[in-house]
Structures are given as structure tokens and as C-alpha cells.
Chain A
Amino acid sequence: MLRYALRRCAVGVGLAWVVLTLIFLSLHAVPGDPAEVILSGEGAGAVTQEAVAQVRAELGLDRPLGVQYLQYLGGVLTGDLGTSFTDRAPVTEHLADRLPATASIVLVAAVIGISAGIVIGSWAGRGGRVADAVVGIGTGLGVSVPVYVLGSLLVLVFALTLRALPAGGYRAFADDPAGHLERLILPSLAVAVAFACVVARMTRSAVVETARQDWVRTGRAVGMTRAGVFRVHVLRNALAPVVTVSGLEIGTLLGSTVLVERIFNWPGTGSLLVDAVAQRDYPVVQGIVLAVAVAFIALNIVVDLVYGVLDPRVVHR
């Protein structure tokens, strides 16, 4: 198990390195000089040759590509992701600034999504044909509604019509806990619905599959109650794959926050990424994409290992 974990981590590090290299190369293959982009963005009038050369030297863009690459690699290893083109602040500072806002949406949405999904899925799996059909149609609808449409609908209903919750904005939890939570409800809900539907579908099929097993019939035969058998023999066995696949789906959830943060005016990494892409602020784009990719790779490894713990029958080669 330990050997497997170590090998899995080594492959993860290798994959992260490949991703870093690809992002670096692709962003440096971009047509157009970032220095000119910056200067024209600052609106300082005509872009002179000297000004361009100066900015290039300042950003280290005049050095050979190989040198830039090694510098970036060295920087990443020592926790330096470069400086933003737009405000010359360190990218790590931008990330540290925005990460908590995204983390609170992801955390709340993951908790709601997994718990609601498991409850709804189990109900569909053992609740008879009507429950199954209702959940089947409901989850089909849930995964087909884009997250930004759902977010807008939530704003329309709960903020503009019922006036029960704010339509958007952000308060730091430390300054105003109630205001933070109040503004967190709608965006988290928007992200959680599709996630819950995916989890519910997986739970349903896992429960149906497990309920067919011999040991379930044996459990009933030795006099356990239906609920007892379900809790001890069905749900426990069905949940191993559900929990692990849900873990992987958190990647999709990360993606949804990009759209939801935009709708609710939520200052997280997603809206930072969208702004950086629109302004061609390459160091920031590079930093966020790398951070997301590393988080995603790490998540994959954790999920694989957790699967082994939850289901001892899995043998790691």
C-alpha cells in the first residue's frame, strides 16, 4: 500500500511537471508581445521601442526561452509564481487573496451535493418505481441545466422576486460571518445541484446493483429488518465507488465556480481567471491553471488511495 502510494505520488509529480511545461510553452508561443499588450493596456499614448524594451527587461522576457523556463521552474519550486502583468503584484498574493472565496463555495457545495445526492439516490434505489422515475427525470433535468442558467434563475426567484437573499456580492467571513453565509447560499446551491444529481445517479445504480447480491438476501433470511440490511449491507458496500467518483467530480465543481462567481459577483479565483484571460495577464493565467491542475492531480491520487481503504478487496499493483 505504501509503495503504491509513493509510486502514485511520483507519477503525479511527473504529470504536474508535464502540465507546467505545456502551459509555459503554450503561453510563450503566443503571437504578440506581452510587453506591448501591457503598454497598450496602460494607455500611455504611443508605444515606443524603448518603452517596450524596458518592460521586456523588467519582466525578464528578453532572456532566452530556456533560461526563462528554468527560472520559472525554480520559482515554482520555491513558491514564487511570477508577477502579474497588470498590477505588478506577485501572482501568489493574488491567489492567496482570492482562494478563500472560492474555497467556501466549493466546500459548501461539495457537502450539500454529496449528502443530498446520497440521500436522493438511496431513496430512488429502494423506494419503488415511482420514486425511481421521479428521481431519474429530476436528475436528468438537473445535469442538463447549465450552472449559469440555474444561478440566474435562483437570483430571479430568491433575490428579485422573493427578496429573501442578496443577489450577489461578498463579505469576508472574518468581518461579517452572517453576511458571508447569507451571500454564500445561492452560489453554493447553484453549483451543488448538478453535483448532487450526478452523485444521486451513481448512488442509485450502486444501490440497485448491491441489493441483488447474495449476502443481502442472506441478511433478510436471518431476520434482519429491511432498514437494517440496507444500512449495514447495501449502503456500506454501495458507497465506496460513490465516494470516490464524487471526489473526482469535485474537479467539475471547481470549473462551475468560474461561471457562478461571475453571476454572483463573487471575488474568487474563477473570476480572477476570467479577468486575467480577458486582459491577457499570462502570469496570472499560468499560476491559476497550474494551481488548479495540481489540485486536480492531488485529488485523483487521494481518491485512488481512499478507494483502497474503503474497499479492502482492491489490490494495488
Chain B
Amino acid sequence: MSSAVPVGDQTPAPPRSRSTARLRRALNPWRLTALVIAALVTVAAVLGPLLIPFDPLTPAGEPFAPSGTGGHLLGTDSFGRDVAARLVYGLRTELLIALCATALAAVTGTVLGLLGGWFGRWVELVTMRVTDVVLAFPTIVFALLAVAIFGAGTTTLIVVLGVLFAPTYARLAYGQVLSVRRAEYVDAEIAFGSPTLRLLRRTVLPNILAPILVQLSLTIAAAVLLESGLSFLGLGVLPPEPSLGLMIADGQRYLGSEPGQLLVPAAAVVLTILAFGALGDTLRDWLDPRR
């Protein structure tokens, strides 16, 4: 093999103009709106607590004060706590849990899939069977089992969601590695005798990364969906901590007289899920040329 063989990057990145054109095609007005919402949700979660002068845990007025009274932007809840404050703090918890769980799932899943796909044989057997076992459960049932064991709370939620979503990444990485490992640039690296770990990290990983990155945003949406459901059941974030699922459960109790108590947090959850879902779809159409 001559030294003229380019190493590591045989498939040059598409020229910028083509990439931009694909991005333009991936963005329609509907998705653009969704992306703006995703940005707003994130900003509200990060900066909201600084802007709203109320504490989410202490009563600050009459119960069910209508919006606008006493400086309460969205009114107060059944305990007289500021709804806007609970909303932004809840959103913050929600996004924090979703982000941590997604990171955990992406890292463990990718590593498992990478090892399984590269080494084959028993490594493949073990890693892929583990994902099969996790996938053999409806997600919420698995989550409830974990809550029964470890008790409810933020840490349990992060770990459980991480474990639940890891198989998606393991499958993705596994499939990608199978197609990449026969590529000439990988053969070239092997021929040059680079150590396996370095090869996996420097050559294989970057080449399988696009679909994994696309999946991140979709996992965040799925994590928010599942987390708020568990909190709604009273088995996720524990009261009195602010959480969108808990607010919805509370709102359901007063649905007949105070529908706003349910509609406000419900709208926040739906918009968050929609926005991150749309972000994922946009990324997929943009970065994943096979679609």
C-alpha cells in the first residue's frame, strides 16, 4: 500500500453550498416555528427563574388568583404558589433530566453498539442481547419497575430514562459500524497498525456519528414525554418540587372549576415535545443524506 492513500477521510465532506441547500429544503415554515419554540423553551428554562420574582415552593397569594393579579403573570395554584414560577422551574427540571438521561443513553448505547459491531462474536452477543432484554419491556412498565426498586426521585429518573433509551443508540451504532468496518479507509488504518482503541475513536466513531447526533433531539422529546408521565402518576419528581407532570396532575383535580391549572402546563409539555421532535426531524433531513 503506497503512502499516497489518504487516511481517515476518504469521503470528503460535501461542499458547503450543497449542505446549505439541504438545510433550506429541510426547513419549512412549520419546522421553523417549532425551532423558535424550542429556543424559547430553553431560554425560559435557563433565564426564567431570574426573571420571575416568586419562589416556586412558597405560597405568595390567594389560591387560584387569576392571571395578572398581584404581579402573578399566570395566576396562582391551589396552594397560592405562583404558576409562572412553577412553570419555568418545572421546565428547568424537565429539561435537565431529559438532557442528562439523553447524554447517558447516547454514551453508553454508542459504546455498546460500537464494541458489539466491531468485535463481533461474544461481545456482539452480550451487548445486543442486553438491548433485546431492555426492549422487551414497554418503556413505562420498565420505569415503574425501577421506581418500585429505587424509589421515586430525580436521580432514579435520569438513570432509568438513560437505560431505556440506550438500546436505540446501541442498535444505531451497531448497524453503522457493520457498514463502516469494511471501508477502505478502515482497512488502511489497520494496515498501518494503529491501535484498536485509537482506530475506533479517531476513525470509526466520527464516521458513524451523524445518525447518532440526529437521534439526540428525538430522545430529548421522548424523555420529556415519559418523565412528565411518571411525575403525573406521582412516581417521578416528588412534590413539592415543581414539575410539569405534577402540575398537570394537580390541574386535573380542579379541571371542572379551574381548567387553566391544567391547560398551562399541558401546553408547555406539548410545545416542548413538538419543538424538540421537529428539531430532530430537521437535523435528520439536513445531516443524513440517505434520507
| Residues of A near any B CB (own CB < 8 A) | 15, 18-19, 22-23, 26-27, 29-30, 137, 140-141, 143-149, 152-153, 155-156, 160, 251-252, 254-256, 258-259, 262-263, 273-274, 276-278, 280, 282, 285, 288-289, 292-293, 296-297, 300
Contacts and interface: CB of A to CB of B under 8 A. Distances in A.
B235 A258 contact: no
22 contacts: A15-B136, A19-B133, A22-B133, A30-B148, A140-B274, A141-B274, A148-B229, A148-B248, A149-B266, A152-B262, A160-B255, A252-B138, A252-B139, A254-B138, A254-B141, A255-B141, A256-B140, A274-B144, A285-B148, A289-B137, A289-B145, A292-B138
Contacts of A27: 148-149
Given A15-B133, A156-B262, A277 B147 contact: yes
Interface in B264-281: 266, 269-270, 273-274, 277-278
A145 B235 contact: no
Question: What DSSP secondary structure best describes chain A's contact surface?
Answer: helix
B235 A274 contact: yes
B226 to A, nearest CB: 9
Question: What DSSP secondary structure best describes chain B's contact surface?
Answer: helix
Contacts of B149: 26-27, 29-30
A226 B145 CA distance: 51
B211 interface: no
Interface residues of B, number: 36
Q: Which of B229, B248, B278 has the most CB of A within 10 A?
A: B229
A145 B262 CA distance: 14
Interface of B: 30, 132-133, 136-141, 144-145, 147-149, 221, 225, 228-229, 232-235, 248, 251-252, 255-256, 259, 262, 266, 269-270, 273-274, 277-278
B225 A297 contact: no
A146 B229 contact: yes
Given A156-B259, A255-B140, A297-B136, A26 B233 contact: no
Nearest to B234: A278
B144 A258 contact: yes
Contacts of B277: 140, 143-144
A18 B133 contact: yes
Contacts of B30: 137
A255 B262 contact: no
Contacts of B234: 278
B261 to A, nearest CB: 11
A301 to B, nearest CB: 11
A22 B225 CA distance: 26
B255 A258 contact: no
Given A140-B277, A152-B262, A282 B148 contact: yes
Q: Which of B251, B252, B259 has the most CB of A within 10 A?
A: B252
A148 B259 CA distance: 15
A255 B138 contact: yes
Contacts of A292: 137-138, 141
Nearest to B144: A277
A138 B50 CA distance: 36
